[in-house]
Amino acid sequence: MRGKGALVALLASPSASYTAQQPRPRARRRPTRLEATTLDAKAVKGAPLDIGVEEPARSIDVYATLPPVDIRLLDEQEHDDLPGRTHVINLAKGPPCPDPFALVKSELIPFSDNMKLLVASENPILSQAASHFFEKRHGKRFRPTIVMLLAQALPNAHKDSSEVVFERQTRLGQVTEMIHVASLIHDDVLDDADTRRGGDAIHKMYSNKVAVLSGDYLLARASVLLAKLGHMDVVQVMARALDSLVSGEIMQIKANGAADKKSSEDKNEISEPMNGKRSFLDRAKAALNVGRSQEALQRELAERDAREMELYLRKSYYKTASLICDASRSCALLAGHASDSEVAAAAEEYGYHLGLAFQIVDDVLDFAMDDDQLGKPAGADLSLGLATAPILFAAQDHPELRPLIERRFKGDGDVTMAYETVRASTGMDLARKLAGFHAQRAVDAICRVAPDSEARDALISICYIVLSRNK
């Protein structure tokens, strides 16, 4: 199910149309093929327009975003007889490789030194600001770890020696982290976020001036290093990643802006679709509740649920998955695999699903953690007006959450009410299940093209770590 028909398919799927008032649909057992759902690019108007030159389809328009059955009925272990499925994630059993990060530790030590040098500049304030993330609070180094592990796991198809190729892939890992950090720094300016990664956000520690400039500096350095890799397709893929990060941020402020407008215009009319323009007749009908059967209302609610989930998944792709999946694809390209090769596609698919799983778990943790553990305030996403997977799933059982979602938690007490409701619901469990769906697909993708190796086990184990992390 791809392209134009996807939204219809999504709306018709049991997961999307399920509400508390309806009987649960029966599970489809052991399908011969997993027909997963993708988003319709034209249905979601968040991405900027492109003209003049053709762009390849974004991964989110190619790969699955939701399982083909209601997430409540999904049991990945049922599908272990699927062709090509060589490893089924079993969190109880544990990952095949206990510490995947250890495998590339030696690669990341010079990486760290290099990064310090790369951000070194003669301006002490800027240098301090830019190296802040890399040194004192360098985070998980999640992205360069994935790139380095892929570099080891994927076969080298390049005419140049493995050493030369690996050197380029290392550089790609650095570029990826620089882009990631630059986007964090600029997002902090954008979001007025108070804390990030457990430390003060750069713009609070220094100033907006230094934050904007530090981000620009990292982006500029990343562009230069990327260009020097000398691989045109890689430049193009990574440029798209940068574009995606900005698109994600645009979607975010757009959703917020729309809610601002909405909540001031017609705060009490929550039964209409967001942003929908209505004629006088429509308004009159709505006021009199004429011609609206219970069934029609349910369908409308289901449509809105589906639209919110679409927006959420697309934003998650743009803001998180795109950089990981574009870096993964680039890593395969640097190893000499063609743009249309199975290896490049599988690497991209691995990064795509892993990235979505990562973001979904991140959003679950926003409800799970207190301030100390996560490094940012619990429920912070709600305060930013973000409706993430846990609350969207929770709303299916708790329709009272819908108006709060629609006004982006801007009403008095909305954040607390939403937080408590989600905590008491199955929303977090269902979101984790969706993350599991994506993690399994990431495993499937990498096993399709990488021969059995320690590095492949490490890439599989990363999926375990993403799913089971609780901080």
Residues at the contact surface with its own copies, assessed by CB under 8 A: 45-53, 55, 114, 117-118, 120-126, 171, 186, 189-190, 192, 208-210, 212-213, 215-217, 219-221, 223-228, 230, 232, 235-236, 239-240, 242-243, 245-246, 249-250, 253-254, 257
CB 40 within 8 A of CB 6: yes
Structure tokens at 266: 């017609």
Contacts of 248 (CB under 8 A, 6+ apart): 315, 317, 318, 319, 320, 322
Instruction: Work out the number of other CB atoms within 10 angstroms of the CB of residue 86.
Output: 13
* Cα within 13 Å of Cα(215), Cβ side: 21
CA 165 to chain CA mean position, Å: 28
Q: Are 390 and 422 in contact (CB under 8 A)?
A: yes
Q: Which of 38, 42, 45 is nearest to 65 (CA)?
A: 38
CA dist 78 → 8, 20, 37, 99, 286 (Å): 27, 26, 19, 28, 45
Cβ 91 to its own copies, closest distance in Å?
37
Cβ proximity to its own copies: between 28 and 228 the closer is 228
Report, in Å, the least distance between residue 10 CB and its own copies: 20
Least CB distance to its own copies at residue 6 (A): 19
Spatial distance between the Cα atoms of 376 and 387, rounded to a whole number of angstroms: 17
Nearer to its own copies, 57 or 284 (CB): 57
Question: Residue 221 or residue 398: which is nearer to its own copies going by CB?
Answer: 221
Distances (CA, A) of 364 to 293, 302, 400, 435, 459: 35, 22, 20, 10, 22
Query: How big, in percent rounded to 5, are the helix, strand and coil portions of the chain?
Result: 65, 0, 35
CB of 460 to its own copies, least distance (A): 32
Residue 195: which H helix or E strand, with range? strand 195-196
Q: How far is the CB of 422 from its own copies (least distance, A)?
A: 27
**How far is residue 416's CA from residue 422's CA, in Å, rounded to a whole number?**
10
Nearest approach, Cβ of residue 219 and its own copies (Å): 7
The nearer residue to its own copies, 236 or 298, going by C-beta atoms, is 236
Shortest spacing between CB 152 and its own copies, in angstroms: 21
Question: Is the CB of 34 or the CB of 190 nearer to its own copies?
Answer: 190
Q: Distance between CA atoms of 433 and 361, rounded to whole angstroms?
A: 10
Which of 24/42 has CB closer to its own copies?
42
Which residue has 């109880």 as its token pair?
92
Task: Find the shortest distance in angstroms from Cβ 263 to its own copies.
Answer: 16
Residues 87, 443 contacting (CB under 8 angstroms): yes
User: Which residue lies nearer to its own copies by CB, 45 or 283?
Assistant: 45
Min dist CB 231 to its own copies, Å, is 8
**Cβ closest to its own copies, residue 334 vs residue 368:** 334
Residue 273: which of 225, 310, 327 has the closest Cα? 310
- Judged by beta carbon, residue 47 or residue 415, the one nearer its own copies is 47
